[in-house]
């Protein structure tokens, strides 16, 4: 009953779809865990500037920019948080705006299931 109510309260959008699947897989969305937010840039200078700006934000830990085989630069920003729809969406929007101000764009998020501590 609680799980069906939790599922019903998740908005019907892309983030909601992922969160519903996580709940259906048995994940507890109230538990904090590292959430990775991905951003892409055309060049290293843009990626570096974004990473430096993200590092100034509380609770955010940007990883060092990396380039892929197609010379696209990616920066992963990690935040430890409970992956609620509201929190994820707000963080995504904030980081997307920051990425856009440095010539890049958001490229999704990911997280592992929460670690459940033994009682």
Output the furthest CA–CA distance in the chain (Å, rounded). Answer: 51
pLDDT of residue 66: 97
pLDDT of residue 5: 61
| Inter-residue contact 98 to 41 (CB < 8 Å) | no
pLDDT of residue 118: 43
**pLDDT tens, residue by residue, 67-103:** 999 999 999 999 999 999 999 999 999 999 999 999 9
* pTM summary value: 0.89
Which domains can be identified in the chain, with CATH numbers? 31-111 (3.30.70.970)
Spell out a b/e string for 9-19, using b for 16 or more CB atoms within 10 Å of the CB, else e.
ebeeeebbebb
**pLDDT reading at 119 higher than 50:** no
């Amino acid at each position: 009953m609680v799980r069906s109510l939790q599922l019903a309260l998740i908005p019907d959008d892309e983030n909601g779809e992922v969160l519903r699947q996580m709940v259906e897989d048995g994940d507890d969305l109230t538990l904090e865990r590292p959430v990775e937010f991905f951003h892409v840039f055309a060049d290293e200078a843009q990626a570096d500037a974004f990473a430096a700006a993200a590092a100034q934000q509380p609770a955010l830990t940007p990883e060092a920019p990396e380039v892929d085989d197609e010379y696209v630069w990616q920066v992963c920003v990690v935040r430890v948080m409970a992956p609620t729809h509201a929190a994820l969406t707000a963080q995504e929007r904030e980081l997307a705006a920051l990425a856009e101000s440095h010539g890049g764009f958001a490229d999704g998020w990911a997280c592992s299931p929460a670690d459940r501590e033994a009682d």
